[in-house]
Chains A and B, each alone.
Chain A
Amino acid sequence: MSETVTGRGGSEEASREETVNETQSERVSYLRAGHTLRSWFFTTDHKRIALLYLISVTFFFFIGGMAAGLMRTDLLTPQGDVLSNEGYNRAFTLHGVIMVWFFLIPSIPNVFGNFLIPLMIGARDLAFPRLNLLSWYIYWIGGLFTLWVLLAGGVDTGWTFYTPLSSMFANGNVVMAAAAVFVVGFSSILTGLNFIVTIHTLRAPGMTWGRLPLFVWSHYATSVILVLATPVLTVTLALIVAERLFGLGIFDPALGGDPLLYQHLFWFYSHPAVYIMVLPAMAVVSELVAAAARKPVFGYWFIVFSSLGIAAVGFLVWAHHMFVSGMSMYVGAVFSFLSLVVAVPSGIKVYNWTATLWKGHISLDPPFLFAMGFIGLFVVGGLTGLILAMLALDVHVHDTYFVVAHFHYIMVGGTVSAFFGALHFWWPKMTGRMFSIGWGRLTALFIFFGFNMTFFPQFILGYLGMPRRYHVYDPQFQVLHVLSSAGSTILGFAYLFPFAYLLYALRYGKPSGDNPWEATGLEWTVPSPPPKHNFDEIPVVTREPYDYEVEKEGGA
């Protein structure tokens, strides 16, 4: 293990001493290219913007996490003794709004996509570097609105802003919260647009579509959804705000308007948004699995087309959120079928990752453990998703903790695990320093166990009939709730570990060398951390992706 870790990349001065203050690559890296605040806040370097995003999304992750902590504390007892009814509604709404729009959606694309896509395709930057910076500022304008909502007392509609609750009855800061989501949508659109144009126009010579890393393909699929789904949310929120502020009732039943139309428009965005959150996670896992197995990925084109398939079919399944809303049964049957169809490409991916590992020379490094955590949790989340996609079964578990557990398995078990996997895998590339492998492994295990302990009891709770969004509950559910809250404590601490050892590695970590994991891909050919302009000379790609030498190490 240790010889893979110390690395033996191109920078020959690495591993000269135990603690090195500054390596040669670091001296000329993007991190040292300017020390003023201005050089960070007005940078157009995609790598610096990625770091700005990393700090920003982490900040919101902790605010959203604190709201979850409040809820889990309150749920320890059947009575509501920490939060009032109103307070509980506000806690879960803010948790949802912040986690969905200010952490999950921007997390992997805006941090790792931003950092890696140009490096992976052999470009010096994204196609529109200033637009990229603008997207970060727009994100923060939306973020400040959200913080304002938080300080002004919150909002209690749930992250879904359903009408007529949001337009006519809710007392919280609905307009401000909707404005926050409205604004942050433009940040998503700009990022998606930038990625698509970059991948089309800035690939290095020889970087054909068939040689693109799967990370890039999956981000391409994500970007298509970002660009095509987000505007619908934008206009839907604008309609709510118009109804609240100017009395322009579009969904008002008293005028003949239909609240179901709101739900259709909302889920037309928000279901694809689920894929915005999980496709980048799949992007990360494809890279992590191939690097850990030291083998070419099994079925490259199957993984590519399953990403594109998810993006396409993902637009046609939204109404499975509305099976009990009173819409037509025939519509329900069609959407039920389509929702089962969209599970197929996800299944293909899991199958291909597993097949990639078969007979691989697997190294149990932290990134691999996170990837395995992702696959396990994603499979559970995906299979319970099938239960929810079926009309008859959904009626039994709709709006219960079963749904809550299902989507947390995908969003938190899946995406957050992948986020941490990516953070560990590319941390040496981003900072030039290697962290403690032992602590990394421990964190991966703690996150996996803490997560299961938090959310598995919620499947049972939901199946037994515990509805979501209630904080006063029947005492028979208490044991499972206590188990869940205890698990969330472990999970919370596990999320804190990386802060200690990753930041410690910044100062005291060993220089990692160019390619500490001995992975393929253009990003590993440049120094760690990369120089400001990525490549001295734009590389010419002559090799297929993931061309690990399989035969040579056959006996090991």
Chain B
Amino acid sequence: MTRSGLVEEPFSDPEQQRRAALFGMTIFLATEILLFGGIFAALIFYQAAHREIFVETSRELHIWIATGNTVVLLTSSLFAALAVAAAKAGNGKATGWLLGVTAALGLAFLGLKGWEYALEYGEGLLPLAGGDAKLGEPGKRLFMDLYLMATGLHAVHVTIGVCLLLFIAARIATRATRMPEQATTIEVSTLYWHLIDVIWVFLFPALYLVR
């Protein structure tokens, strides 16, 4: 009814509220998995139908940039996990910094991905106006269409994640969010970050390692 501490309206105790928040985020992550599930279904379906041309096109991707990106994103998840530990320990300052590092690694991922797109555009591999000179063969174009949709949608999620983490880091810096009372906020938002990471872990082999 009234606010007692940091327990909000319908909840009666902090533990109940924490459970609800984590559960809510978990369900949201399930919806995200199904969102990407549609694209994965298309990828698997078309890989079976156009095996050779897909393998051939996959070989032309910049696997080393993508591998680097995998390392960057996995490392960022480590910092996200450390941020949760710091938040639970009540160390607000460390939490803020660790979230900042996580977001910075996310930005590095986006930078590398952008560079990769630019290279592909120059090579005539990107199915956008002016960048598709080498995509004459239908199957090749289909693969690159899927590639751009999948990685593009993922990049949108990384961008949202970076904004979210920076927003929380800023709130910790201005003491609008306090640790360890609001450690659940960190837990919930890093869950989202981990999912972005996990989706990439599946996208990477599906697009780059099918050679």
Within B16-69, which residues are at the interface with A (CB < 8 Å)?
16, 19-20, 23-24, 27-28, 30-32, 34-39, 41-42, 45-46, 49-50, 53
Q: Which residue of B lies closest to A129 (CB)?
A: B9
The 8 A CB mask of A254-274 against B (1 = contact, 0 = none) is 111110010011000000000
Asked if A248 CB lies within 8 Å of chain B CBs, one says yes
A473 within 8 A of partner (CB): no
Q: Does A66 contact B (CB under 8 A)?
A: no
Q: Is A387 an interface residue, CB under 8 A from the partner? A: no
Q: Which DSSP category, helix, strand, loop or mixed, fits chain A's interface?
A: helix
Q: Does A422 contact B (CB under 8 A)?
A: no
> Contacts A125-B10, A201-B20 hold; do A248 and B127 have CB atoms under 8 A apart?
yes
Contacts of A176 in B (CB 8 A): none
Asked whether B142 lies within 8 Å of A201 as measured between CB atoms, the reply is no
Question: Measuring CB to CB, which residues of chain B are less than 8 angstroms from any residue of chain A?
Answer: 1, 9-12, 16, 19-20, 23-24, 27-28, 30-32, 34-39, 41-42, 45-46, 49-50, 53, 127-128, 138-139, 141-142, 145-146, 148-149, 153
* Contact of A228 with B by CB under 8 A: yes
Chain B residues with CB under 8 Å of A202's CB are 10-11, 16, 20
On whether the beta carbons of A538 and B12 are closer than 8 Å, the reply is yes
Known: A227-B27, A257-B142, A258-B49. A235 touches B10 (CB 8 A): no
- Alpha-carbon gap, A197 to B38, bound state (A): 25
CB distance from A31 to the nearest CB of B (A): 19
Known: A127-B11, A264-B41. 19 other contacts (CB 8 A): A44-B9, A123-B10, A124-B1, A127-B24, A128-B24, A129-B10, A193-B28, A193-B31, A202-B11, A231-B31, A232-B34, A238-B153, A239-B39, A239-B42, A242-B149, A246-B128, A255-B139, A255-B141, A256-B50
In the assembled complex, the CB of B51 is this many whole angstroms from the nearest CB of chain A, namely 12
Pairs A-B, 9 closest by C-beta atoms: A235-B38, A231-B35, A125-B10, A231-B34, A255-B138, A201-B20, A248-B145, A255-B142, A231-B31
Q: A residues 322-380 with Cβ under 8 Å of B?
A: none
Classify the interface of chain B: helix, strand, loop or mixed.
helix
The complex places the Cα of A198 from the Cα of B11 at a distance, in Å, of 10
CB distance from B211 to the nearest CB of A (A): 19
Residue from the list A131, A200, A236, A261 in contact with B45, Cβ < 8 A = A261
Q: Report B-chain residues with C-beta under 8 Å of the C-beta of A127.
A: 10-11, 20, 24
Query: With a CB–CB cut-off of 8 A, which chain B residues contact A123?
Result: 10
Contacts of A105 in B (CB 8 A): none
A250-B145 in contact (CB<8A): yes
CB distance from B158 to the nearest CB of A (A): 17
Q: Is the CB of B38 within 8 A of A232?
A: yes
**List of A residues within 8 angstroms of B30 by Cβ:** 227-228
Q: Can you offer 7 A-B residue contacts whose CB atoms are under 8 A?
A: A131-B24, A197-B23, A228-B34, A232-B38, A234-B35, A252-B142, A258-B45
**Within the assembled complex, what's the spacing in Å between the Cα atoms of A457 and B68?**
65
User: In the bound complex, do residue B141 and residue A249 qualify as a contact, i.e. CB atoms below 8 Å apart?
Assistant: yes
Report the bound CA distance from A196 to B9 in whole Å: 18
> Residue A230 at the B interface, CB < 8 A?
yes
Chain B residues near A200 (CB, 8 Å)?
20, 23
A119 within 8 A of B: no
Residues of chain A lying within 8 A (CB to CB) of residue B42 = 239, 250, 261, 265
B9 touches A248 (CB 8 A): no
Complex Cα–Cα for A332 and B190 (A) = 43
Name A235's contact: one of B36, B46, B128 (CB within 8 Å): B36
For chain A, residues 386 to 405, give those with C-beta under 8 angstroms from any C-beta of chain B.
none
**Chain B residues whose CB sits within 8 angstroms of the CB of A238 once the complex forms:** 149, 153
**Could you tell me the distance between the alpha carbons of A189 and B34 in the complex, rounded to whole angstroms?**
12
